[in-house]
Amino acid sequence: MSDLNEAQIRSFQQSRGLAVTGFIDAMTARALEESRWKLGDRSLNLQDHPLMRGDDVAALQSRLTEMGFDCGRVDGIYGARSASAVREFQQSAGIVVDGKCGPETIIALLRLTRMVSGGAPNALRENAAQKNRGPALANKIIVLNPDGDNALVYDVALRTEGRLLALGASVFLTRGIANNPSELERITFANQSSADLMISLHLDGYKNETAHGVATYFYGSDAHGIHSTVGERFASLVQREICARTDLLNCRTHAMAWDLLRLTRAPAVQIDLGYSSNPGDIERLSRPDFRDVIAEALVISIQRLYLAAEDDAKTGTLRISDLRKAGIRR
């Protein structure tokens, strides 16, 4: 790792969907370690924490998913769901069923052709699960994650929470006004809440105060050839709604492999609501009426995610009062 220069580190970080810093932080070091492993380099098995991680695990998950076995998200982490999919594959292939991906299992994987073709089964499952939840927000569990201890971001979360509760949704905040859990604690909280959707609210920052605007991130990894279809759709909806209702610069949506997006089991997005280093962005967010507009954009985006295509509305036109009139509430 010490042999890499800054340009190589930046290139690696960009290819892995990490924050591009040019130096090896803890997440980059872990990604470098994971990238060493190719499928077949070692036997994979479910073990006590820390779980096995690596590109070989992601390759196994991708291959099993293509064959119709449910590994859950392709995240490069060999957890209980991966072990279960391996056992199902082993049973179908007529080899020893132990949930471990050793030489015999790898050989069977290489020999067998795809049992499912013409699409991405995991994406189909994710989309089907979303549609089966129905359009009403009354049976949805939404986790809001106001990042850090910023009071403006926390206030946007509270305003969003109030609107969602009024529409019948169950809402959980990962922190209160006086506490600041770690990222892992927030991820664990979201997973234990059985969330349908996780929305993480942030402010970006840059050494040059001219950087400004809103950007939204969803789970995706070019290295693993996977992305969250529901996460990507919601990221697109919320980015468009915010930009249609405000004058924040559109910094677009991006696929990233940050832990918050990768390890949260529900579709998750991170929204950077502006730059703390830009006076204009902070002036906007400091206004209660502006934070109200952001909160309404978030709620409308959530509702649009669950509406059928024929019931959806044009970006920037739907209002919370319209949802009440339509009876899309408890």
Q: What pLDDT score was predicted for residue 178?
A: 84
- When pLDDT is averaged across residues 17-31 and rounded to a whole number, the result is 90
Angle at 109 between CA 105 and CA 111, to 5 degrees: 115
Do 296 and 163 form a contact (C-beta atoms < 8 A)? Answer: yes
Q: Which structure tokens are listed for 3?
A: 């042999």
Model confidence, pTM: 0.79
CA distances from 276 to 247, 253, 280, 284, 286 (A): 16, 19, 9, 11, 11
Domains 6-118 and 128-325 share a fold: no
Amino acid at 99: G
Summarize pLDDT for 191-239 with one digit per residue, the tens.
999 999 999 999 999 888 999 999 999 998 877 777 888 999 999 999 9
- In this predicted model, what pLDDT tens digit does every residue of 143-185 receive, in sequence order? 999 988 889 999 999 999 999 999 999 999 999 988 899 999 9
> How is the chain split into domains, by residue range?
6-118, 128-325
Q: Residue 308: what pLDDT?
A: 60
- C-alpha dihedral sign at 182, 184, 188, 190: positive
Q: What is the pLDDT of residues 286-313, one digit of tens each?
A: 999 999 999 999 999 999 998 865 455 5
Does residue 86 carry a pLDDT above 50? yes
State the alpha helices, DSSP H only, in the chain: 6-15, 26-35, 55-66, 80-93, 103-111, 121-132, 151-166, 183-192, 229-245, 259-263, 279-285, 288-306, 320-325
Confidence class for position 79, pLDDT limits 50, 70, 90: very high
Residue 321 has pLDDT above 80, yes or no: no
Give the pair of three-digit tokens for residue 79: 């957890």
Residue 97 CA to residue 170 CA, distance in Å, equals 41
CATH code for the structural domain at 6-118:
1.10.101.10
- On the question of pLDDT at 315 being above 50, the answer is yes
CATH architecture of 128-325: 3-Layer(aba) Sandwich (3.40)
